[in-house]
Structure 1
Amino acid sequence: MRRHHLTIRIAVPLAAVLALSACSTPEVAETPRDSVSTAAPSVAAGDAGALLAAHGLVGKSGSEVVEALDRLDAQRPLPLAASVRYDEVLLSDGTIEASMPLDGDEFYLSIAPYETTTHECYFHNLGTCRGELAEADVKVTITTDSGEVLVDEDATTYANGFVGFWIPKDLAGVVVVTKDGKRAESRFSSDAEGPTCLTTLQLL
């Protein structure tokens, strides 16, 4: 069972805020999240509750926050940035930063198939990332290098142009997407260094 732990920091440096404000690249992701001014006061639990309440996230686990924000039918960017990592999701409203764990043995992979327009992305930002094909019907298969089929289903991309899947951690393989006779293929890795955002699936 995933635990609802929350770590809160205030007065986040600008670099850390920017790391959460767009689809993150590996270089951005390496920005230390703990480089917070020692003069900044700690934030009380009540403030943490207010942050989550402001975005309808009270009582949700890390995985539930990920699903709720990715599926949210609202124009991006959202007021809340949320960067998905291997074992946590980092939240920021520009003033407060919170880390919620993604416990268990599942890895969140969000994909954005496209035809003409895409963007670079490594760690999926639920509040800012936008794919080209919103609410599009696609067929998705995710297969490991050993031949195990993890996903084989029809899906519809969310309003942000992405569709997400929980898959086992520490595997590698291939994602295949088909739509209207077109096909896209890209590799994935669900280890600690793997991207949670896949935007290289061009349908041809």
Structure 2
Amino acid sequence: MVAGCGARESEPASVTGDPALLQEHGFANADAHEIIDRLEALPVAERPQSLLASVTATSLQLRDDAGREAELPLPDDQFYLSAAPFVKTTHECAFHSLTACRGELRNREVTVSVVDSSSGETVQDGPHATHDNGFVGLWLPRGITAKLTITLEDLTGAAAISPQADDDLTCLTSLQLT
């Protein structure tokens, strides 16, 4: 099922699947960017247990316990990367689950730097807080190759990132702080 593009203001444009799923979870007028930011910011205990929300390189995919599904496209010029810096423990992940993924460093103040490898331009630089799930959510320009550096006190980790392809990973769990 495809919701109408722009005809009804109560549904986001380009929603495929069941728009009632969005309505029931309070996302009726939200786009993928807003839903991702809202879910990521929720304390773990308040995240909906009946909703599975995953981010791919191109869309936000939602599914509930009843098997209903909805999909919303990410902005064409942006890529969402959720990074879980760690010191001791991590897990493997490819596509970030906003409702299930957990990282080691919950609710910690970190410094995040993203520098475009081609131009040397700083894309992001400054303080961030890891969410209650241990992840830092980053909206990045699509198509860049960059160096991501995360610092926690005297510990630092870095990784090359390249949010370009439609199948690129959205969950970075290999960034160890040493």
TM range (shorter): 0.7 to 0.9
Which of residues 163, 168, 177 in structure 2 aligns to 1:194?
168
Report the counterpart of residue 74 of structure 1 in structure 2. 44
The structural deviation recorded for 1:54 is 2.6
Q: Pick the aligned partner of 1:139 from 99, 107, 111.
A: 111
How far the C-alpha of 1:124 sits from its partner, in A, is 0.8
Calculate percent identity across the aligned residue pairs. 40
How do residues 79-158 of structure 1 correspond to structure 2 at under 5 angstroms?
79-94=50-65, 95-146=67-118, 147-158=120-131
The 3-state SS of whatever aligns with 1:203 is coil
**TM-score, normalised by the number of residues in structure 2:** 0.85
Counterpart of 1:23 in structure 2 is none
Instruction: Tell me the alpha carbon deviations over residues 83-123 of structure 1, each in whole angstroms, 9 at most, x when there is no partner.
Output: 11222111111411111111230111111111111111111
Unpaired runs of 5+ residues, structure 1, are 9-46
User: How far 1:160 sits from its partner (Å)?
Assistant: 0.8
Q: Is structure 2 residue 177 aligned with structure 1 residue 168? A: no
Q: Distance in 2 between matches of 1:195 and 1:148?
A: 23
List runs of 5+ in structure 2 lacking aligned partners. Answer: 1-5, 7-11
Q: TM-score, normalised by structure 1?
A: 0.75
Q: Which moved more, 1:117-126 or 1:76-85?
A: 76-85
Contact 2:19 2:28 in 1 (8 A): no
CA contact (8 A) 1:118 1:132 kept: yes
Q: Is the 8 A contact 1:80 1:91 kept in 2?
A: yes
Identify if the C-alpha distance between structure 1 residues 202 and 77 changes in structure 2 by more than 3 Å, giving closer, same or farther: farther
Question: Deviation digits for residues 9-67 of structure 1, max 9, x if unmatched?
Answer: xxxxxxxxxxxxxxxxxxxxxxxxxxxxxxxxxxxxxx622x22332212111111111
CA RMSD of aligned residues (A): 1.8
What secondary structure is seen at the aligned counterpart in 2 of 1:70?
helix
- Residues 22, 28 of structure 2: 8 Å contact kept: yes
Count of matched residue positions in the alignment of Structure 1 and Structure 2? 164
* Superposed displacement of residue 167, structure 1: 0.8
Distance 1:188 1:159 in 2: 23
